[in-house]
Amino acid sequence: MASSRMLDSDHLSAIAVWTAACLVGGFFLWLLSDIVWHGVAEISWEFLTTAPLNAGRDGGIGPILVSTALILLVCMVVALPIGLGTAILLAEFTTDESLFGRLIRRSLDVLAGVPSIIFGLFGNAFFSVTLGLGFSILSGGLTLACMVLPILIRSTEEGFRAVPTDYRLSAAALGLSRFTTLTHLLLPAAIPGLLVGFILSIGRAIAETAALIFTSGYVDRMPESLLDSGRALSIHIFDLSMNVPGGDAKAYASALVLISLLFAITTLSAWIADQWLHRRIIPV
Partner 1 sequence: MSPVILQILTLTGLILVGAGCQESPTTHHSKRKLVITGSSTVAPLMAEIGKRFEILQSGVRIDVQTGGSSRGIADARQGLADIGMTSRALTSDETDLHGTAIARDGIGVIIHTSNVVSALDDGQIADIYTGRITNWNAVGGADALIVVVNKAEGRATLELFLKYLNLINTEIQAHVIIGDNEQGIKTVAGNPNAIAYVSIGTAEYDARREAPIKLLPLGNVPATLETLRTGTFPLTRPLTLVTKAPPSGLIKTFIDFARSPDVHDLVTQHFFVPIQS
Identified binder of partner 1 from the candidate list 35, 61, 74, 147, rule CB under 8 A: 74
- Closest alpha carbon to 125 in 108, 145, 139: 139
Binding mask 181-210 for partner 1 (x = CB under 8 A): --x---x-----------------------
- Residues 56 and 239: beta-carbon distance below 8 Å: yes
Binding mask 211-250 for partner 1 (x = CB under 8 A): --xx--xxxxx---xxxxx---------x-xxxxxxx---
- Closest alpha carbon to 63 in 197, 254, 212: 254
Residue 144 CB, nearest approach to partner 1 (Å)? 14
Residue 190 CB, nearest approach to partner 1 (Å)? 12
71 is a contact residue toward partner 1 (CB under 8 A):
no
Residue 57 CB, nearest approach to partner 1 (Å)? 9
Binding mask 16-55 for partner 1 (x = CB under 8 A): --------------------------------------xx
Helix (H, G, I), strand (E, B) or coil at 58: strand
Contacts of 24 (CB under 8 A, 6+ apart): none
In the region spanning residues 84 to 123, those forming contacts with partner 1, defined by CB under 8 A, are: 84
Q: State residue 133 phi and psi, 5-degree precision.
A: -80, -10
Cα 188 to Cα 84: distance, rounded to the nearest angstrom: 12
Helix (H, G, I), strand (E, B) or coil at 222: coil
Contacts of 181 (CB under 8 A, 6+ apart): 167, 168, 171, 172
* Count of all residues that appear for the chain in the document: 284
The smaller minimum CB distance to partner 1, of residues 47 and 198, is found at 198
Element (H, E) at 270: helix 248-281
Residue 241 CB, nearest approach to partner 1 (Å)? 7
Positions touching partner 1 (CB under 8 A) are: 54-56, 73-74, 77-78, 80-81, 84, 128-129, 134-135, 138, 183, 187, 213-214, 217-221, 225-229, 239, 241-247, 276
